A and B are shown apart, each in its own frame.
Chain A
Amino acid sequence: MKFLSDKAVDHLRQSANLPDLSGTRYQLLDRVARGGMGVVYAALDEILGRRVALKILDVSVPEGELARRLNREARVLARLEHPGIVPVHDVGTLSDGRVFYTMKFVEGQRLDKHIETVTSLPERLRLFSRICDAVAFAHAQGVLHRDLKPANVMVGAFGEVLVMDWGLAKILREGSSEAADDDPQATVVQSSQSSDLPPEATEATQITGHGTVLGTPGYMSPEQAAGDIANVNERSDIFSLGALLRFLCFPAASTKSNSSWRQEKALDAICAKATENDPAKRYAKVSDLSADVSRFLDGLPVSACKETIFDKVLRFYRRYTVPILLIAAYLVMRVLLLAFPHR
């Protein structure tokens, strides 16, 4: 009697977990990642001959609410046509009844990985501004993301920034066909319950049953964490963006070459305003937050903090460092020429 090796058993287990794409136009290539809604695979669109990202429910997760949400996520994404939002190509159902949808395959890195290579603060802020653009567009379309965090932002090979994982998106606009799909009674809690999803999924967000939704500590607004769904609105995403900005600008102390950024009072004030516990004290719109970041980048005063005279002088010096130094050099040279006329 022969026994299978552990490796072979693992391989068989993985193969059994792979979705059956027969009857679709897609050929499975590889497993990419797990998200809150299911598993993302790389697949080949056999008709168009292009690589796509195929998101599908995890095998062990029962159908019902989750399938409905995945389907809804696809429809939410489909209405968000923006360069900063990953486009959906197709949505369908597998032979086993599971819902899938395909989207653009983004070759790049998650933001949290990508920024390890970005040591320039202005470059990080420009990345943030592009995230804001995408979120502002979604808000203009009446869609809240509700799960903004570094792991849900991809930076492509050519620097394109894409906001991913709209599985928790909430549609605000009344009269929309999606509005009925949203669950107004859902509460938001950090799920720590065991599931069949692997650890990498639980560290991010998870879907739970009726009455509970996901979230990521540190990025979730207080009202979202408290399950105060009635008060979850654009300002909740602004809280997440503020936390994201803090992550980008004030990384862990262990991160090298960033200690000077901690002295950026204006930037700290922007983060603080965006992540106020009281939603009314936050920025009213994403565009307001983005505008403040742009003003900071341009060396202009930001609305989030009042400046002292010293702050103004320091900002002026930072903004015009080169001309000030050139003129100072000119004056010093003039003084030296006058002081030593015969040399």
Chain B
Amino acid sequence: MNKVLLGLLLGAVLGVFDGLTALWTPDPAIRAGITGIVIGSTFKGLVAGLLCGLFARKVRSVPMGVLLGLFLGFLFALLVVLNVHNYYFRIILPGSIVGLIVGYATQRYGDSPANVPVTTR
């Protein structure tokens, strides 16, 4: 499995899971909009996975990949929060960690094309 596909799959799976956790929130309004939340969360994971996968194909550096994943996860979660104007902590923290996991996994696993320069930073 190549790194882009791995990033997409992992981003989608974690995104779906991240969205589904909204089912356990006490707010009924959130539970009612679960479909939109899951779709949005999955899309967020897909984009983060795609970008992390593409980055991992170009640069082989676990710290850089982790930082990029963390940043993308944080950024997308922040965009969501800016629309919702609520649940800052509960959206940004898990979103960032999902990005971090995707960033790490795409660096560490998955097939990459030959002759990729290795960065030790």
User: A residues within 8 Å of B by Cβ?
Assistant: 322-323, 326-327, 329-330, 333-334, 337-338, 341
User: B residues within 8 Å of A by Cβ?
Assistant: 14, 21, 24-26, 89-90, 93-94, 97-98, 100-101, 104-105, 108
**Do the beta carbons of A334 and B94 come within 8 Å of each other?**
yes
Closest B residue, CB atoms, query A341: B26
**Do the beta carbons of B93 and A333 come within 8 Å of each other?**
yes
Besides A322-B108, A326-B100, 13 other A-B contacts (C-beta < 8 A): A323-B101, A323-B104, A327-B101, A329-B97, A330-B14, A330-B94, A330-B98, A330-B101, A333-B94, A334-B21, A337-B93, A338-B24, A341-B26
Chain A hits for B97, CB < 8 A? 326, 329-330, 333
User: A98 CA to B119 CA in the complex, in Å?
Assistant: 54
Nearest-Cβ distance from residue B24 to partner chain A, whole angstroms: 5
Chain B hits for A329, CB < 8 A? 97
**Do the beta carbons of A341 and B104 come within 8 Å of each other?**
no
User: A329 CA to B100 CA in the complex, in Å?
Assistant: 12
Chain A hits for B26, CB < 8 A? 341
Chain B hits for A338, CB < 8 A? 21, 24-25
Given contacts A334-B21, A338-B21, A338-B24, contact A326 B94 (CB under 8 A): no
User: A322 CA to B108 CA in the complex, in Å?
Assistant: 10
> B-side binding surface: helix, strand, loop or mixed?
helix
Nearest-Cβ distance from residue A152 to partner chain B, whole angstroms: 33
User: A87 CA to B21 CA in the complex, in Å?
Assistant: 65
**Do the beta carbons of B90 and A337 come within 8 Å of each other?**
yes
Chain A hits for B101, CB < 8 A? 323, 326-327, 330
User: A341 CA to B100 CA in the complex, in Å?
Assistant: 23
Chain B hits for A333, CB < 8 A? 93-94, 97
> Can you list 8 A-B pairs, Cβ within 8 angstroms, ordered by A?
A330-B98, A333-B97, A334-B21, A334-B94, A337-B93, A337-B94, A338-B21, A338-B24
Closest A residue, CB atoms, query B105: A323
Chain A hits for B93, CB < 8 A? 333, 337
Nearest-Cβ distance from residue A182 to partner chain B, whole angstroms: 43
Nearest-Cβ distance from residue A331 to partner chain B, whole angstroms: 9
**Interchain residue pairs A-B with the least CB separation, the first 8:** A326-B101, A330-B97, A338-B24, A337-B90, A334-B21, A323-B105, A341-B26, A334-B94
**Do the beta carbons of B105 and A341 come within 8 Å of each other?**
no
**Do the beta carbons of A322 and B104 come within 8 Å of each other?**
yes
Closest A residue, CB atoms, query B24: A338
Nearest-Cβ distance from residue A237 to partner chain B, whole angstroms: 33
Q: Which of A322, A323, A327, A341 contacts B25 (CB 8 A)?
A: A341
User: A329 CA to B97 CA in the complex, in Å?
Assistant: 9
**Do the beta carbons of A326 and B24 come within 8 Å of each other?**
no
Closest B residue, CB atoms, query A327: B101
User: A326 CA to B102 CA in the complex, in Å?
Assistant: 10
User: A141 CA to B119 CA in the complex, in Å?
Assistant: 39
Nearest-Cβ distance from residue A343 to partner chain B, whole angstroms: 9
Chain B hits for A337, CB < 8 A? 89-90, 93-94
Closest A residue, CB atoms, query B90: A337
User: A337 CA to B97 CA in the complex, in Å?
Assistant: 14
Closest B residue, CB atoms, query A339: B24
Chain A hits for B21, CB < 8 A? 334, 338
Chain B hits for A334, CB < 8 A? 21, 94
Chain A hits for B108, CB < 8 A? 322-323
Closest A residue, CB atoms, query B97: A330
Closest A residue, CB atoms, query B10: A323
Chain A hits for B94, CB < 8 A? 330, 333-334, 337
Closest A residue, CB atoms, query B93: A333
Closest B residue, CB atoms, query A329: B97
Closest A residue, CB atoms, query B101: A326
User: A326 CA to B97 CA in the complex, in Å?
Assistant: 8
User: A320 CA to B36 CA in the complex, in Å?
Assistant: 33
User: A163 CA to B100 CA in the complex, in Å?
Assistant: 44
Nearest-Cβ distance from residue A18 to partner chain B, whole angstroms: 48
Nearest-Cβ distance from residue B107 to partner chain A, whole angstroms: 11
Nearest-Cβ distance from residue B90 to partner chain A, whole angstroms: 5
Chain A hits for B24, CB < 8 A? 338
